[in-house]
Amino acid sequence: MRSRSTLERLRDIKQNIELARAFVADLSFTEFQADRRTVYAITRCFEIISEASRRLPAELKERHPEIPWSDIAAAGSVYRHDYPRVREEILWRTAQKSLEPLLAIVEQELGRLSED
């Protein structure tokens, strides 16, 4: 199996940010919490974002120290191995309000790669 390229990983992050935002776009926290499928879907999006971010090149991450790369990577371990600690309020708040800076960086890097 071939390894995934930086371009593919960035696309995975972008796609899963867009999915997560779409899944919660019109939901209150109470509605989100009651919708088990959406909770699971958001968790899966965040797992993929975490895993893809872990495999981005160090030089890309160094260009964007404002992104908490180590926190994003560590969250994936919680989603996979320490899932009782996952808090729905944090999932919802992250999907609603905290993905924009990461999306902006991903789009910037995708543009940079398309120029090369």
Q: Is the dihedral of CA 28, 98, 104, 82 positive or negative?
A: negative
- Taking the CA of residue 51 as centre, how many other CA atoms within 13 Å lie in the half-sphere pointing to its CB? 12
The CA distance from 16 to 113, in Å, is 19
Kindly report, residue by residue over 5-51, the tens digit of the pLDDT: 999 999 999 999 999 999 999 999 999 999 999 999 999 999 999 99
pLDDT for 78: 86
Alpha carbons 34 and 30: distance in angstroms, whole number: 6
77 confidence band (pLDDT: 50, 70, 90): confident
Tell me the pTM.
Answer: 0.91
CB of 80 within 8 A of CB of 21?
A: no
Count Cα atoms within 13 angstroms, Cβ side, for 100. Answer: 4
